[in-house]
Structure 1
Amino acid sequence: MLPDKEPIVIELDIKKLMMDNIVVTSGLVILFVAIQYICFKNFDFSFWNIILGSILFVILYIIFIVLHEAFHLIGFMLFGSVPFKSLKYGLNLELGIAYATTEQPLPNHAMKKALLLPFWTTGVLPTIAGFYFNSTVLVLVGAFLIAGAVGDFSMYKELRKYPKNALIQDDPHLPKLYVYMPQEKK
């Protein structure tokens, strides 16, 4: 149950996040491709490799975006103990974003973990696998998904300001969180 007090609202600036995402994506792509080149020194830029790699990238990118949101849902259940029936998942075509949310508020410590779970599972792990298997496609997908977590990191950064037992309610339609401070004991 949520406290009767007005919540503190954390709202993300979508335009700023999109610009941040472009900058981080560009930087990571350059960095990761340079690291891969230094480590393996064997890029094949034939026409068919570029075409097939591009198609594979798009397919994997879409799959990993879906998985990114699914891992938020898993995080809500795993760290926040929310029931499956309280979860919602979809696309907001107006904002151009996929979303995963829960109707149930989570303690701050659980919400922070749920926010960052997709970064590790759909960003870092594919990147490591890409370097291990010398797969430029996986390295690039990982770079894009790491950068795609820029909004999650922004929310995480804001949530660090509040106590771990504050209740966090996710907005079902907008990239917004409502923070309900814990009741003061008398």
Structure 2
Amino acid sequence: MQQPDNYQRFDRSTSLEKANLVGGLFGLIPAIALFVGHLLYNGEFTLTFNPNDWFGIILLIIIVIGGVLVHELLHVIGWMLAGRVSLSAMKLGFDRKTLTPYAHIRQALPINAYRFGTILPAIVLGLLPGLIGIVNNLPPYTAFGVFFTVAAGGDMLILWLLRRDPAQALVIDHSDRVGCEVLIPNESNSR
């Protein structure tokens, strides 16, 4: 691997507040596509909700909280698998100011490994359950997929920020912002 001196750094990050706002819009487009896909494929989308069903309400809360935790764990798993890094390089946390959980990797990764770990929760918790719900006419699965696709909007925003960076770049995850710094080898840098 080349020395860091042979790289130029570029910031590809945003604030947590902006990521939650703009990222939600990034997640909304594929989420709407899942919902409309369910309607077009099945002709209907029916969910029932009984506000007096305390068991159902508690179960929904558990599913949402559990899904949020699994979302962050999927980032960790994706970065470990694609980047071949150890668990000790990972950090899970919770930002009290914005009530946002996060996963952070403490070492540089090849950009495509970072991309893989970044998008993995959107695929596993969003698109796959949504598609299963559509194909099998299971509105709760589609709704779960829609919710977690919107929740992965910040991750989609990060991929958008990285869209023009070359495959040979390295990524250093920000510890206090959403996104990363990209290290691009000088010989491939045309900026």
Same fold by TM-score greater than 0.5: yes
What SS is found at the alignment partner of 1:142? helix
Counterpart code for 1:47 = N
Distance 1:150 1:18 in 2: 8
- Flag structure 1 segments of 5+ consecutive residues without an equivalent: none
What does 1:1-186 correspond to in 2, within 5 Å? 3-4=4-5, 7-20=9-22, 21=24, 24-25=27-28, 28=31, 32=35, 35-36=38-39, 39=42, 41=44, 43=46, 45=48, 47=50, 53-184=56-187
Following TM superposition, by how much is the alpha carbon of 1:109 offset from its aligned partner in structure 2, in angstroms? 1.4
- Cα deviation per residue 1:115-138 (whole Å; 9 max; x = unaligned)? 111111111122123335544332
1:12 maps to amino acid:
T
Q: Is the 8 A contact 2:15 2:177 kept in 1?
A: no
Letter in 1 for 2:155: D
Deviation string 1:67-124 (CA, Å, 9 cap, x unpaired) is: 1111110111111111111111121111221111111110111111111111111111
* Identity rate, percent: 28
CA RMSD of superposed structures (Å): 3.2
Partner Cα separation in structure 2 for residue 75 and residue 106 of structure 1: 11
Aligned-pair distance for 1:28?
3.4
TM-score of the aligned structures, taking structure 2 as reference length = 0.78
Instruction: Count matched residues.
Output: 185
Distance 1:26 1:119 in 2: 13
Q: Which moved more, 1:176-185 or 1:141-150?
A: 176-185
Q: TM-score normalized by structure 1?
A: 0.80
